[in-house]
Amino acid sequence: MANHLVYADAKGIHSHGAVRVDYYAERIAKGGINTDPNVTFEKTGPSSGIVQGDNGMGHYVALKGLDNAINLCKESGIAVVGVRKVSHTGTMAYYVQKAADENLIALSMCQSDPMVVPYGGAGNYFGTNPIGFAFPRENDVPVVFDMATTVQAWGKVLDARSKNRSIPDTWAVDAQGNPTTDPYKVSGLLPIAGPKGYGLMMMVDILSGMMLGLPFGKHVSSMYDDLSKGRDLGHLYILIDPTKFTDLTSFKQNVETMIDELHEMQPADGFDQVSIPSERSQKKYMKYMENGTPIEKNIYEYLISDTVHFDKYGGMNAFAEPEQ
């Protein structure tokens, strides 16, 4: 878990880094996360399987699921592995990069609690339902793509709160359904690209929730509701061994050719270069891992303290606000 949170902050994904620690600590203290889970794996077909998380810490259980998916993919060429009954699993980039480090193409996704206004709707139904994608390249770190199916992840709103900053009015709406720049007045997040993001978040919920026999849509439990109970969340991996379809060397060479061609394109006004996904975050990672990773002072002070909150998040809605 610590490795995951440091990775997120060092990549500049502060929404999924140390800002989450006080919530995790409170949930663990209240018994809502099993600190000694019996994590099991059942192979359900030549290329499929299910990991039962036993309500363990999400990062730990999801990594166990990834390990099994990697092994299965190397055996059969493709793997589809579901992870059942976990808590919050953090950033998708962490998992898909590990799979791509093994020369596999990786797709990962998970469901989250309902906090998004569907296209054409006035209430919340789906979660931010993120998707991660990664593939190996030659003599460099994998290319990683990680996105929420909303304009921004909820963690970005949390990050804005921790820094006392406003948010763009394209991220979310308030209780009246109007665009808001106040991170404390967010009542619903908006899907990316309207109906396209809406369709993607439905796909994620079906594959990582409904297909695993778990609650879906508005039935997914809130992260902040009852911290003494488990959450029954789902997480899904789809891994592909490219050597089952092409030569690995030529595949990686083609990846490098594509990246070179993108870099050589004339940049638009205001840009120095056409970047590839994760390129800027990787530069941050290299810098921060060498010189230290910046986090907000209030988060740092919490981390070095002995404090465990028992009344900060419990009984809250999906937006960490008191239930109405």
The letter for the amino acid at 96 is: V
Classify burial at 122, counting beta carbons within 10 Å of its beta carbon; exposed 0-12, middle 13-18, buried 19 or more: exposed
What does the DSSP assignment read for 176-220? TS-B---GGG--EE-BTTTHHHHHHHHHHHHHHTGGGT---GGGS
Tell how strand 48-56 and strand 78-86 pair up: parallel
Calpha distance 87→62 (Å, rounded): 9
Nearest alpha carbon to residue 83 among 218, 207, 226, 241? 207
In sequence order, what are the beta bridge partners of 105? 240
Please, how many CA atoms are within 13 Å of residue 264, restricted to the half-sphere of its CB? 6
> Which DSSP helix (H) or strand (E) runs through 22?
helix 21-29
The two tokens of residue 39 are 């994590």
Calpha distance 115→224 (Å, rounded): 12
- DSSP, collapsed to helix, strand or coil, labels residue 24 as helix
User: Would you please indicate which residues are annotated as catalytic (active-site) residues?
Assistant: 88
Contacts of 288 by beta carbon, 8 Å cutoff, 6+ apart: 9, 10, 12, 294
- Computed on alpha carbons and rounded to an integer, the radius of gyration of the chain in Å comes to 20
Phi and psi dihedrals of 242, rounded to 5? Answer: -65, -20
Please state, as a whole number, how many other Cβ atoms lie within 10 Å of the Cβ of residue 169: 12
Cα 262 versus chain centre, distance: 26
